[in-house]
Structure 1
Amino acid sequence: MTNVTNVAISGDIQSQLLGQTTEHLHYLTDTLAIHKEMLNAYQALSDAAKRDGLSIKIASGYRSFERQLHIWNNKFLAKTPILDKHNKAVDTAKLTPYQIVQAIMLYSALPGASRHHWGCDIDVYADNLLDNNYQLKLEPWEYQEQGPLAPLSSWLQVNANSHGFYFPYDSYRGGVAAEPWHISFMPLAKQYQQHISLTQLCASLEDSNIAGKEVIIDNIEDIANKYIFNVNTVI
């Protein structure tokens, strides 16, 4: 494994958990950031992939509370479609508010509870495996046997762990869908997971304009057990 000794979180950990600060980040571009303590490990992973003919790119790195809130509200208010496990649009008119919450969380995290707030979780692809005009969808089939990104998926299964990365959503556990594109840097993720506070999360949601606020807060423990804590923790 990549040397990860002395990899520690500094600064306001609750603000980092909630996506309310950028103090822990290193910007790779003007709009793409990852955790500064993950930079060396990510570069080592990328270099190793390059030696094997794969050009790893990050589709999504750090995401702020406000960005996640925008995604959430658009889905809850039916401005953008909510997809089911078969990648079919859900008819939200037939659902209760809490059923809408659960439908969203199959693929999209609750603002304040997204692992992308941490900066140590990233969605990856390999641009050299895609045609020039291909529009990446981040759907499971793209990474499966017949998908264009299957070689990357196979490579990550073999090599991610040796660089400190693992798959938090390696399989469907009744909450979040399997996400073969989502990798997490264990030395940091483990620390963040230990500091998750539902009290702090609820406070941040109370202060926001999140759609479905009442039903979310009323069901926060069920949501946490099913969608926040219900992940793979084995590297």
Structure 2
Amino acid sequence: MSPRRLTAEQLTGQDQSHLIQLATGEQLQAEAANSWQKLCQRAAADGIELAAVSSFRSYQRQALIWQQKCLGARPVMDEHQQAVDVQLLTGWNKLEAILLYSALPGASRHHWGTELDVIDRAALPSGYQPQLLPSEYQSGGVFERLGQWLPQHVSELGFFLPYQHYLGGVAAEPWHLSYQPLAANCSELLTLEVLQHALLRQPIAEQSLVLEHLPVIYQRFVQTICEPTA
């Protein structure tokens, strides 16, 4: 069966009729949800309590995050996980700093119902709030074991890590899972024109600047990912 062809509104997070909601709260396309539940069972067999801290994210939600980062009301981090004062930045430098960890509204893979940001709930110390920083998944981090487990096992159920390594666009996100059989189709359908139309329909913070640089943003921060491995 070929993947369902999403509409432009579904691809850009303006319509979520393509999703189902699991009892545990995740909003995903049905096929991705089924594989996600199986992946959780597979992880549990290895003593990992796989849990999603984010799945579907709407255009409006992404636009709010974007606006807060543009205004300096939400932390912006650099590649060394150090805080950046975006109010001291202008033009492309400001956009580049925000795009390192935050997708442009309309361009987030989380709009598709194929993506999850994951933690190991069993590894959480009492009172600890996950930050979703690479250091948490590296040697000595609270999710070190999960960071080792994911690359070894997620492909067994159709997932991959689109931001496993930094490739000059989005920073490394060892927590970000993508359900490849559906995400590949969504990536093809999300053209530059579809993204531009979404932004023109629902303008965001720094709209003029974003539209000026949209072709570069699309190529570097939307299309550039780590490809699935066998």
Fold match, TM over 0.5?
yes
TM-score (norm 2): 0.95
Note if 1:195 corresponds to 2:192: no
Q: Write the distance in 2 (CA, Å) between the matches of 1:64 and 1:24.
A: 12
- 1:102 corresponds in structure 2 to 96
Equivalent pairs, count: 229
Q: Structure 1 residues 124, 85: CA separation in 2 closer, same or farther (over 3 Å shift)? A: same
Q: For structure 2, which runs of at least 5 residues remain unmatched after alignment?
A: none
Residue 176 of structure 2 is matched in structure 1 by 182
**Following TM superposition, by how much is the alpha carbon of 1:7 offset from its aligned partner in structure 2, in angstroms?**
5.8
C-alpha contact (below 8 Å) 1:56/1:126 kept by paired residues:
yes
Q: How far off its partner does 1:113 sit?
A: 0.2
Contact 1:143 1:153 in 2 (8 A): yes
SS at match of 2:146: helix
1:126-149 superposed Cα distances (whole Å, 9 cap, x missing partner): 100111211010000000011011
Q: What is the CA–CA distance in structure 2 between the aligned matches of 1:215 and 1:163, rounded to whole Å?
A: 40
- In 1, are the aligned partners of 2:72 and 2:87 still within 8 Å (CA)? no
Counterpart residue identity of residue 34, structure 2 = N
- Residue 82 of structure 1 corresponds to 76
Query: 2:148 corresponds to which residue?
Result: 154
Q: Which amino acid aligns with 1:213?
A: Q
**TM-superposed deviation, 1:218:** 0.8
The match for 2:227 is 233
SS at match of 1:40: helix
Q: Which AA in structure 1 matches 2:214?
A: I
Equivalent position of 2:3 in the other structure: 8
Deviations 1:64-102 (A, max 9, x none): 000000000000111112111122211223322321111
Q: What secondary structure, in the 3-state scheme, does the structure 2 residue paired with 1:160 have?
A: helix
Alignment partners' CA distance in 1, 2:167 and 2:139: 21
Q: Deviations over 1:161-188 (max 9, x none)?
A: 1111100001111111000000100000
Match of residue 61, structure 1, among 55, 59, 64 = 55
Structure 1 runs of 4+ with >3 Å offset: 29-32
Letter in structure 2 aligned against 1:25? L
1: CA distance, partners of 2:89 / 2:160: 34
- Give the CA deviation at 1:234: 2.3
Q: Aligned with 1:158: secondary structure? A: helix
Give the direction of change, closer, same or farther, for the CA distance of 1:30–1:185 in structure 2 (3 Å limit): closer
Any conservation in 2 of the 1:7–1:187 contact (CA below 8 Å)?
Answer: no
Change in Cα spacing, 1:156 to 1:138, as seen in structure 2 (3 Å) is same
- Length-normalised TM-score, structure 1: 0.93
1:171 is matched with 165
* 1:197-221 Cα deviation digits (max 9, x unpaired): 2112112112224111001111111
* SS of aligned partner of 2:65: helix
Which residue in 2 is equivalent to 1:128?
A: 122
Unaligned runs of 5+ in 1: 1-5
Post-superposition offset of 1:232? 1.3
Q: Which moved more, 1:93-102 or 1:176-185?
A: 93-102
Aligned match of 1:3: none
